[in-house]
Structure 1
Amino acid sequence: MKKINRFFWFCSGAHIDTLKKYPIEHNKYVGIGATIFFTALFAALSGGYAMYFVFSGSTFAVLWAIFFGLLWGTAIFNMDRYIVSSINKEGSTNQQILQASPRILLAIMIGIVISRPLELKIFDKEIRSKLKTSYMKGQQSKIDSLQKTYGKKYTMELGKNAELKKEKDSLERDINRSRYQLNQEVFGDKTNQTSGIVGYGTYAKQKAEILKEKQDRLKTVTDNINQMDQYLSSRKDYEGLNSTKLFSEKQLDSLANVAGFSDRNWALGQLSFNEKGERDLDTYLAIAFIGYLFILFECLPVLVKLMSAKGPYDVAVAKTAQANEHLAERDKERDIAVTDEVYDHHLGTDVDKRKRLISGQAEYDLERHSYD
């Protein structure tokens, strides 16, 4: 537990040797450090997941995801650690809030960035379904567009083919009717269209000739239709209509599996709307609150540092900082005094030379270098 505590103290950005002297502050900084660590862990998972989709299909996709995840998590860890450790508890509440405002805004942006890839993973099933629907609609729209273009481009040929098919249907009905009347004429059935004389007589021969003419015309029309169908089929191949088909379920699954980060991000945004284009409040709130949760989690270390009262550790750190400032000022004054003493020793009472040195920093530095 001591090693774990020291690790979380390090994560919080606290000065460990100073913090050890104040046991009452230990738990607070363990909590702050743990929050920073787990935020960085979530950031690493988020970055790695996002990078995995960037290199999806590549042999080294997993290695790139691990590398970028560790890199991104480390960057977020150092940034959060700096944000928390740089908040000064010496000022008033308003001063602390003003000081922390840029850091809170940065934390919000980081929370948004790390939450999005994790949201993509959480709603993976719904995103796949939305992508499959989108791909199917896109393919149907493409087919409709091709058919519309094809219809406009070959309007004359399609119209002629339709007329030939109507004529074929009409001829087939007439042939059936003529064949029936011919049978009636041969067998001597008396009707308005037959003579009632049994045998293959003059009237039967006339009806047989009419039937043959219709059959010959039907054969010609059928040949023309076949030629036109072959031509239109070749034009469909050329225009891409025959090769463009609706996706099967297996193809849709494959497309959803290889969908990139941009497509999945779009699908996640579309989950908040139903088929009518109206906002689906339940799904919208579910996605939004997950994002808000990560934003709050990212801001939590800063908020905890702001809400916590100034403790003995903060006082000790402030005193140490003041002492260091005083020591720095004393060292600076001592260096100036030693420098002046050295120049006095070398220059003596030469007033003209002293004025010349003071008149310009460049000359002063040059003269000092010569004496050194």
Structure 2
Amino acid sequence: MDNELYRSPRPSAAMRLFWKAAGADRYILERSTYSDQVKYVCLGGIIIATGVMAAIAGGYAFYTIFAPKGNAIDSFKAVEGVASNYDPTDIPTVLKSIVFGLIWGAIIFNIDRFIVTSTGKGDGTEAITRKELVGALPRIIMGAIIALTISKPVEIRMFKTEIDVALHEKQIQQQQAYKANIDKVFNDEIAKKEQSIQQRLDRIAKLEEISTQRKADIAYETAHGDCGSKCNEYKNQLAANEAEIASIKNDPEYIKVKKELDELETERNLRLKESDKVSSGLDGLLERIKLAHEQAGWVISLFVTLLFMTIELTPIFFKLMLIKSPYDYMEENIKELIKADKGIEIKYNYYPDGEGHERDLIINHEVLKVLKEKIKLLETQAELSESAIDSWKVRKKTDILNDPDSFVTEES
């Protein structure tokens, strides 16, 4: 507006962007007061800020879910002068998280924009009545859900250090429990295999002990020059022991059990090496949210959630508390002008419905005009068709009177 009474300030490009985000009419705002312009700048700023926070939170949540898992405190390796080549950031996952964050932020931005633009201004006073609150309840619930999806990823990032330490302790416990379970499963089976060949192993050990003693006896007798019949006896016993040991070791049943025992040992060692991988799998989004609640406490966790919920729900309550201003009256005036230009008439509270609620009667004069023209055209066409048929009928009767033979066929 630009006249002797008032000159509306010229909006900047940023103001027009915020207006668009708030779903406000730029044409009306440019002709409205500065206070109206500022109201919708603030409203649009909150919606844009919510979209940006949603993008950041969504991207971080995506990264937390899909990033390679590992020791929760691996990122602390390069502190206190200890060299480390460990890079805790996975670049491919970061790029995917950025794309997802942008998409998620755009989704939340559009949902917020729809919620705010579809929320009415109530009765035009600062007070929020019960009726207004009930009407806005679905939008408030949707806004609260959105606030929760934003607050939780931000919350786990705020308390990341404490969560990493607590998560590392749980990973160690998980790793120890996994190793104990693996040992329990395999040790029982290994004990059974060892028990089945223990007698043979004891016999082999006994024979080897005797053979060692006999070798010492042969060496002693040889050194004293008295290696006669005793040495031959010792040598025969050594040969018999070696033959028996070879017989035991070459026994098919012994070989089978020994092979199975070696395979069990190998399998157990492989499973034990997987304990790091198993404990790393504990590092998920749900586990971090749980630890965030445990570390921060329910009071701080609730405070963070309420903070984001306040930011998310502020535009809804803001619109309900707005006092009608020149912008609102001009907007209503333009709507009425458009309806009048298009021939739309609304008679408010014209008739009660089956439940006793007053309903509006909407009359579309343009439609009625076209409908009446169409009906009149069809009626006229019907009259003309009837006249044409009557004229054709008269003409045919005349033709029959003048030449009846042309219309009669005699049968032979």
TM-score with structure 1 setting the length? 0.64
Residues 84, 301 of structure 1: 8 Å contact kept: yes
Identity rate of aligned residues, in percent?
A: 25
Q: 1:303 to 1:339 in 2, by over 3 A?
A: closer
1:65 is aligned, of 73, 77, 97, to: 97
Give the AA of the match of 2:305. Answer: G
Q: Partner residue of 2:116?
A: 84
2:262 is the alignment partner of 1:242: no
Q: Partner residue of 2:312?
A: 298
Tell me the alpha carbon deviations over residues 210-252 of structure 1, each in whole angstroms, 9 at most, x when there is no partner. xxxxxxx9xx99xx9xx99977961542x7223344789xx68
Q: 1:162 to 1:132 in 2, by over 3 A?
A: farther
Q: Partner residue of 2:48?
A: 37
2:284 is the alignment partner of 1:264: yes
2:311 is the alignment partner of 1:283: no
**Secondary structure of 1:80's partner?**
helix
Q: Partner residue of 1:134?
A: 170
Give 1 or 2: higher helix fraction: 1
Tell me the alpha carbon deviations over residues 3-48 of structure 1, each in whole angstroms, 9 at most, x when there is no partner. 2222212211111221231222222222111111100001111222
Give the AA of the match of 1:324. Answer: I
Tell me the alpha carbon deviations over residues 260-310 of structure 1, each in whole angstroms, 9 at most, x when there is no partner. xx84223224326xxxxxx85743333332222222211111122223333
Q: How does 1:1-372 map to 2 (within 5 A)?
A: 2-20=12-30, 21-56=32-67, 60-91=92-123, 93-156=129-192, 234=262, 236-237=264-265, 240-245=267-272, 263-271=283-291, 280=294, 282-327=296-341, 328-329=343-344, 332-341=364-373, 343-344=375-376, 347-348=379-380
Query: Which runs of no fewer than 5 residues in structure 2 stay unpaired?
Result: 1-10, 69-89, 204-240, 249-253, 346-362, 387-412
The offset of 1:138, in angstroms, is 2.6
Q: Distance in 2 between matches of 1:348 and 1:230?
A: 108
**Secondary structure of 2:268's partner?**
coil
**Secondary structure of 1:309's partner?**
coil
The offset of 1:320, in angstroms, is 3.0
**Secondary structure of 1:129's partner?**
helix
The offset of 1:105, in angstroms, is 0.4
Residues 48, 66 of structure 1: 8 Å contact kept: yes
- Cα RMSD for the two superposed structures: 5.2
Q: Distance in 2 between matches of 1:337 and 1:232?
A: 95
Q: 1:246 to 1:292 in 2, by over 3 A?
A: farther
**Secondary structure of 2:130's partner?**
helix
**Secondary structure of 2:270's partner?**
coil
**Secondary structure of 1:115's partner?**
helix
Query: Which runs of no fewer than 5 residues in structure 1 stay unpaired?
Result: 168-216, 273-278, 355-372
Give the AA of the match of 1:5. Answer: M
Give the AA of the match of 1:296. Answer: T
The offset of 1:343, in angstroms, is 4.2
Give the AA of the match of 1:135. Answer: Q
**Secondary structure of 2:24's partner?**
coil
